A and B are shown apart, each in its own frame.
Chain A
């Protein structure tokens, strides 16, 4: 129940295309869902996050869509750029938690 599933494992997108990464969870106590971006040789950095009281959050080219009933959330990267090539992790935590549960990651490659 503590798992967060993430797909696909890897993704190749043409420049200007839309990148979509999906995550699913089981624990209904989760109430905070951040996405992290990690470049090679760097630590993960927070990209965008959502709480389940909203179904969508947008920041620039990055959008999180959240489906509470399905216990799924996804990251959409619009107008993908080669600089977006990185590994993306979804994560979840709950209101009495002291740590995050991370998905296994998606390696995104955006071709020029």
Chain B
């Protein structure tokens, strides 16, 4: 497999369920990201794991919990979601060079279409 792979592609869950989204990158990158894409809204950065640091958007509710066990795998754990959390969740990876070296372009997965009922 190549690139960035996300599973599942589609997920329907109730507000009381607990589920996890999975992302795997085969590009050898050292940074991984979760983005939320809602209709008619900009791509919203949720979490970044880069250079062994985690950076998060403070506006993301605690019902979203990321996990990055290694540089190739990223999870987004979901619990007690709300209907307004229905969106396309995109995972991406890039190479961060550090020490003001910038970063490469981001490579995105196909996304998980999440519907909360």
A31-B42 in contact given A45-B108, A98-B48, A99-B55 (Cβ < 8 Å)? no
> Given A43-B90, A44-B90, A95-B100, are A100 and B106 neighbors across the interface (CB < 8 Å)?
yes
Contact of B109 among A34, A43, A91 (CB under 8 A): A43
Q: Say yes or no: A102 contacts B103, CB within 8 Å.
A: no
B64 within 8 A of A: no
Please, how many angstroms separate the alpha-carbon atoms of A42 and B107 in the complex? 12
- In chain B, positions 65-109 with a C-beta closer than 8 Å to chain A are 90, 92, 96, 100-103, 105-109
The residue of chain A having its C-beta at the shortest distance from the C-beta of B51 within the complex is A98
Bound complex: CA A46 to CA B4 (Å) = 13
What is the total number of residues of chain B having a CB less than 8 Å from a CB of chain A? Answer: 28
**Does A73 have its Cβ within 8 Å of any Cβ on chain B?**
no
* Minimum distance in angstroms from B23 CB to a CB of chain A: 11
**Contact residues of B: prevailing secondary structure:** strand
Q: Given A32-B103, A43-B111, does the pair A98, B96 have CB atoms closer than 8 Å?
A: yes
Q: How far is the CA of A44 from the CA of B53 in the complex (A)?
A: 25
Is A103 touching B42 in the complex (CB atoms < 8 A)? yes
Q: State in angstroms the CA–CA spacing of A41 and B45 once bound together.
A: 19
Q: Is A66 an interface residue (CB 8 A)?
A: no
In the assembled complex, 24 residue pairs joining A and B whose CB atoms fall closer than 8 Å, in A order, are A32-B102, A36-B108, A41-B110, A43-B4, A43-B90, A43-B92, A43-B110, A44-B90, A45-B108, A49-B105, A89-B43, A91-B106, A93-B102, A93-B103, A95-B101, A95-B102, A98-B48, A98-B96, A99-B33, A99-B103, A100-B45, A104-B41, A104-B42, A105-B42
**What residues make up the interface of B, taking CB atoms closer than 8 Å to A?**
4, 6, 31, 33, 41-43, 45, 48, 50-51, 53, 55, 90, 92, 96, 100-103, 105-111, 113
